[in-house]
Structure 1
Amino acid sequence: MATIKDIAAYTGVSPTTVSNVIHGRSGRVSEETVHKIQDAIEKLGYVPNMSARSLVSSSSKVIALINHINTRKDSNFMDDPFQASLIGIIESALRENGYYLMVRTVDTADELLAFLRNWNVDGLFVTGIFRDSFFDTLSTLDLPMVFIDSYVKHPNFYNVGLEDFNGSFLATSHLIENGHRKIAFTSPSIRDGGVLQERFLGYKAALTQYGIAFDKHLVFEYEMDLPSCRELAKQLTAILDLTGIVASADIMAAGIMTGLRDLGVRVPDDLSIVGFDDLVFSQMITPPLTTIHQNMPLKGQTAVDFMLQKLEGRTLSQTEVILPTYLVKRQSVRNLRNDH
């Protein structure tokens, strides 16, 4: 990563002049030189050392939440109630401690670096990180950083995660214990080393535990928007003898249920379904959704606690907290054993 000395050498000015421009003390620097330095910062990919920056300027009191996804033009990640709930919880906890939350979606490492060049943030929350080039860029940054729902292990980063495997195992087991044998798994695209893979593996493990052969044709990877879920519902109803569905998220379960209703398929009379997250709307849909509970307020608060302790320079005894999951039984699962 470029340094102030690199920019000084590139522009032919002193490191002090470069530092003054970076830190907003450009009153005695010509406009031409300022533009030259700013162009070099952009071309060389310079990211300021935020710890050093805090010595010459007061803390911004701004923490950024970076949502690293490949966005579609017609998509809005805040449409996902899980994301909206998590962000609301984190914002509230930060506000109580005198900090502000900034939310930013970035596709690439270059976009992240450009963001950091333009905003003096005190730390980063980062969701859903994989071990890839984006993570490699994160690992070079000198910023307090807390990962949320990541399976990437790194001694310098804190992570707040979930018993994803166990939750999906419980969801699948619940269907099996209610007499279901042919069970589909539905999820957005499953990537190695991520939350969704853990939930998929929990599904597979439950099948094995109960002596049910895994069938790859019962695994469906679809987006979670309503048109995709409606198309998925058509695919599911075409499977002979399918009686149960494990959805990797409540929002996907709700979308599938809407699609099934449009097709005249009744939940749970014709098909049973279990969600994951236990978001508030899972109690409002018809029928109320049986799902896997995760403690969203605790997840958000734990992430904020990690961040605040990092900002205070404290050394924590643990770098990861994995929160428990449990099954919440409602009315979207039919007990087929009662039919015999």
Structure 2
Amino acid sequence: MHSIKDIAKLAKVSPSTVANVIHGRRDRVSGETFEKVRRILEEQRYVSNMGARLMASRGSCLIALVLAYQNERRTSIVQDPFVSSVIAAVETEVQRKGYFLMLYSNPDMEECRKMALAWNVEGVIVLGCKRQGYYTLREQLDVPIVTIDTCFQEEDRDFVNVGLCDYEGGKEMTSYLLQRGHRRIGFLSREEGRDHFDPQFIDSARYLGYLAAYEEWGQRPEECWALDLSRNPKRRREQFMKLQQKNFFGCTALFLTSDLLALEFLGFCRDRGISVPDELSIAGFDGIREGERYRPALTTVCQDMREKGTRAVRELLRLLRREKERELPRRDIRLPVCIMERETVEDCGGNPYFGEEPGPSKKSAFA
């Protein structure tokens, strides 16, 4: 990594001139010199090494937690109950091990690279990034990286990921609903425009579990029961309306791939006078506390969110102890899930609220 003196030597100017360019002091540098130094800074991919001030005999002691979600909401992603639970667990374990935590929210891996270099972090935990984002970051950083909830492929190597038994969770919940007598079960995710079988999405694994449960029961769900909802709340509300207009395709239960989405849909049902679970059963995925507090309390697939964060820190520190080993093992850790029975699912008695069930249809509710 280049220092200010290195850049000054390349530009044939003084270090103070380079510092003025870095801080945007155009009034102290001629236009021609400013542009020349700026160009060299970009070519050398220079970032200010603020972390150097933190260096001690054992390093900076900084661990970065990167939130790489594409957040389309106006509120901070930190307010998401799942994300906040993981952050709390990471912070607790990092401090317990004598390190400091830097929280950084940005899906742009180039900006994440700059942050990691600027602060001289000793390791990075990335929550919510795609596999390509991980490999892009790993190629550019010489520190250990652990991902949380990144979907890797069978041929991938050199990664450590802490994930969930998503396939098993999708299968267990669908089997549970089938056992309760539901034969027409809708599957709703929040990944509009994706291929249901695209391996880079967690919901794809849950969908495969949904299909596997049906197969075990010797049945086959209709394609139109699997719906990908928009990430835009206003657009999603319109999709809920259209889904109701289609009589939910006669489905007696809906399995939504996150508790937040399930709680949002429960609010829609309340506003529209749809009684849950009397007229429609609802199930979620995650096990956030808000689902337990809601009325009716949400039946869901539970995961240990705090264990996810704690395990990620322990795996990162394990890599730090082995940092001289350049080859990383393939380590895809899958934490268990369980069904939490509450109040939004009951035994199936048909779909009386919506009258006669529609005949088989392959047309999407959102077509």
- Short-chain TM bin: 0.7 to 0.9
Amino acid at match of 2:152: V
Q: Secondary structure at the match of 2:182?
A: coil
User: 1:152, CA displacement in angstroms?
Assistant: 2.1
1:246 CA drift (Å): 0.7
Q: CA deviation at 1:35?
A: 5.2
Give the equivalent residue in structure 2 for 1:336: 348
Could you tell me how far 1:215 is from its partner in structure 2? Answer: 2.5
CA distance in 1, matches of 2:272, 2:240: 8
Question: Any idea what SS the aligned residue of 1:319 has?
Answer: strand
CA RMSD of aligned residues (A): 3.5
1:271 is aligned to: 280
Deviation at 1:305, TM superposition (A): 0.8
Structure 1 residue 293: Cα displacement: 1.3
Which region of structure 1 is more displaced relative to structure 2, 210-219 or 155-164?
Answer: 210-219
For the residue of structure 2 that corresponds to 1:139, the secondary structure is helix
Kindly provide the CA deviation profile for residues 133-163 of structure 1, in whole angstroms up to 9, marking residues without a partner as x. 5632333311111111122265443211110
Instruction: Determine the structure 1 residue equivalent to 2:333.
Output: 321
Instruction: Please state how far the C-alpha of 1:59 moved relative to its aligned partner.
Output: 2.3
Aligned to 2:267: 258
Q: Secondary structure at the match of 2:254?
A: strand
- Between 94-103 and 142-151, the greater mean CA deviation after superposition: 94-103
Structure 2 match to 1:78: 78
Match of 2:28 in 1: none
Match of 2:27 in 1: none
Q: How many Å separate the matches in 2 of 1:136 and 1:53?
A: 27
Of 284, 287, 292, the residue aligned with 1:283 is 292
Q: State the Cα distance separating 1:264 from its structure 2 match.
A: 0.3
Equivalences for residues 1-340 of structure 1 within 5 A: 4=2, 8=6, 12=10, 30-34=15-19, 39=38, 40-46=40-46, 59-72=59-72, 74-132=74-132, 135-152=135-152, 155-189=157-191, 190=194, 191-223=198-230, 227=234, 230-238=237-245, 239-313=248-322, 319-336=331-348
**Share of identical aligned residues, percent?**
29
Separation in 2, partners of 1:201, 1:34: 55
Contact 1:66 1:105 in 2 (8 A): yes
Deviation at 1:224, TM superposition (A): 6.0
TM-score (normalised: structure 2): 0.76
Measured after TM superposition, the shift of residue 60 of structure 1 is: 2.3
Q: Indicate the SS of the match to 2:344.
A: coil
Amino acid at match of 2:229: Y
> After superposition, what is the alpha-carbon deviation per residue over 1:286-321, rounded to whole angstroms, capped at 9, x for unaligned?
111111111122212111111222233377988332
On the 8 A contact 1:224/1:251 being kept in 2, the answer is no
Using the alignment, how far apart are the partners of 1:90 and 1:35 within structure 2? 38
Q: Secondary structure at the match of 1:275?
A: strand
Higher mean C-alpha displacement, 104-113 vs 158-167: 104-113
Instruction: Tell me if structure 2 keeps the 8 A contact 1:47–1:113.
Output: no
Q: 1:91 deviation in Å?
A: 0.9
Gaps (5+ residues) in structure 1?
A: 18-28
Cα distance, 1:205 vs structure 2: 1.8
| 1:20 counterpart residue number | none
Q: Is the 8 A contact 2:262 2:282 kept in 1?
A: yes
CA contact 2:291–2:298 (8 Å) conserved in 1: yes
CA distance in 2, matches of 1:278, 1:56: 41
Kindly indicate whether the alpha-carbon contact (under 8 Å) linking 1:224 and 1:255 is maintained by their aligned counterparts in 2. no
Whether the aligned pair in 2 keeps the contact of 1:277 and 1:292 (CA below 8 Å) is yes
**Cα 1:126–1:118 shift into 2, 3 Å:** same
The size of the alignment, in residue pairs, is: 323
Please report how far the alpha carbon of residue 194 of structure 1 lies from its aligned counterpart in structure 2 after TM superposition: 2.5
CA distance in 2 between counterparts of 1:193 and 1:8 reads 41
- Contact kept, 8 Å, 1:63 with 1:121, in 2: the verdict is yes
DSSP 3-state at the match of 2:67 = strand
Q: TM-score, normalised by structure 1?
A: 0.82
CA–CA distance in 2 between the matches of 1:133 and 1:298? 24
